[in-house]
Structure 1
Amino acid sequence: MRKISLMMTVSLDGYMEGPDRDIDWHLVDEELHQHMNDTLKHMGAFVDGRVTHELMAAYWPTADADPDTPAVMAEFARIWRDMPKIVYSRTLPSGPAEWNTTIVPEVVPEEVQALKEQPGGDLGLGGADLAATFLRLGLVDEIKVYVNPIVLGRGKPMFPVSDTRTPLRLTESRTFGNGVVLLRYERVTPNSAAS
């Protein structure tokens, strides 16, 4: 069965965006970008909220057309463009959209479960608001947090205040040359707690 894999870049103090929605503090060098490419190219689909999707669609569809684009970024442009994308939005029209995208108006757990049961690679989840909904509904199977060596002090937290507890087990950690640390966790389910 496919997993829902939440991937998020955060500051050391847990913010995924700065106070003005800025993300210019994200440290993405060639090593980290190649790691992302190697991870994401095996996904079955990207699952995003509207804001994340529009941010990606504003740049990546044609990023590889510029001859000055670094090879690792051009590779990601092709990965992003070709990957099926499921975008949850109440404001965009439902159905097929540009760049291999399907717009879905609501998160319906039974529909997500059916999606997980389809063949193919795992599903990469992005967007803090959508992630909060998936977490609340118990739909996230793993969380990959890329902690950047910076304290922002304020901004949008990765996890909003919630009454939902989600027990996790650390399954991987990796330090990149630029100081970013990957922490990968799997959700602990009653069946996996004994293993």
Structure 2
Amino acid sequence: MRKIVVHMAVSLDGFFEGPDRDIGWHRVDDDLHRYFNEYLATTSAFLFGRVTFELMDEFWPTADDDPEVPAPMGEFAGIYRRIPRIVFSRTLAPTGPRTEVHREVDPEAIRSLQQQPGGDMTIGGAKLIDAFRQHDLIDEYRLFVNPVLLGRGRRLFDPADVPRDLRLVESRAFGNGVVLLRHERVRPG
């Protein structure tokens, strides 16, 4: 069964973006980008909310056309073009190749997607992550904790009424100070 994996950068105080959607504090160097690429190349789908999709799709499809783009970023551009994208939006019109639009998060439809063959599906976008969390659809969290305290911005996780048990399965410190914390969802039974 394909897992649904949160793959996000956060500040030490839990923000995924600063004021005015600032992500300039993300410490993604070539080493960390290569690590991202190694994992993301094995995935079978990117699950995005509209805002995240539009930000990603604005840059990545042609990023490797720029000779100034570092090699790991150029490599990711190819990965981005190859991996199908499922966008959850009530307003977005169906768009280009390898992109499918879903109007809502339907837990049964998501579970059906998980039964299809292929690698993990990564999810991005705080609102979409929250919707998937509410339905207990997330199997793994890969949080890349950046060595910065933002103090304000948008938190990755909204408050939730139901606690979810997690198990740490990996931690890794990168040379730039970013620490990966990888947790799996502990399911009852």
TM-score (norm 2): 0.98
Q: How does 1:1-195 map to 2 (within 5 A)?
A: 1-93=1-93, 95=94, 97-191=95-189
| Structure 1: 4+ residue segments shifted above 3 A | none
Q: Which runs of 5+ in 1 are unaligned?
A: none
Q: Secondary structure at the match of 1:182?
A: strand
String of CA shifts for 1:10-35, please: whole Å, max 9, x gaps. 00000001021100000000000000
Q: Secondary structure at the match of 2:21?
A: coil
User: Amino acid of the residue matched to residue 48 of structure 1?
Assistant: F
String of CA shifts for 1:70-92, please: whole Å, max 9, x gaps. 11111000000111000000111
Shift of 1:99: 4.1
String of CA shifts for 1:142-194, please: whole Å, max 9, x gaps. 00000000000011001012212111000000000000000000001113xxx
User: Amino acid of the residue matched to residue 171 of structure 1?
Assistant: V
User: Amino acid of the residue matched to residue 165 of structure 1?
Assistant: P
1: CA distance, partners of 2:131 / 2:56: 21
Q: Is the 8 A contact 1:148 1:181 kept in 2?
A: yes
Shift of 1:68: 2.1
Q: Is the 8 A contact 1:82 1:99 kept in 2?
A: no
Q: Secondary structure at the match of 1:59?
A: helix
Q: Secondary structure at the match of 1:79?
A: helix
2: CA distance, partners of 1:168 / 1:49: 24
1: CA distance, partners of 2:162 / 2:101: 27
Q: Is the 8 A contact 1:5 1:125 kept in 2?
A: yes
Q: Is the 8 A contact 1:17 1:155 kept in 2?
A: yes
User: Amino acid of the residue matched to residue 64 of structure 1?
Assistant: D
